[in-house]
Amino acid sequence: MPRLLAALAAGALFGLGLVVSGMVNPAKVLGFLDIAGDWDPSLAFVMGGAIPVAALGFRLGARRTRPVCAAAFSPPARSLIDARLITGAVLFGLGWGLAGICPGPALAMLGLFEINAVAFVLAMIGGMLIVQRFEGPGVAAASVMGR
Prediction pTM value = 0.70
Which tens digit of pLDDT belongs to each residue from 36-87?
A: 988 999 989 988 999 999 999 999 999 999 988 888 888 888 888 999 889 8
Q: Is 103 helix (H, G, I), strand (E, B) or coil?
A: helix
Which pLDDT does position 147 carry in this prediction? 47
For the chain, domain boundaries: 2-144
Three-class SS of residue 39? Answer: coil
Q: For position 139, what pLDDT does the model report?
A: 60
Conformational region of residue 80, where left means phi above 0, alpha means psi within -120 to 50, and beta covers everything else: beta
| pLDDT at res. 96 | 86
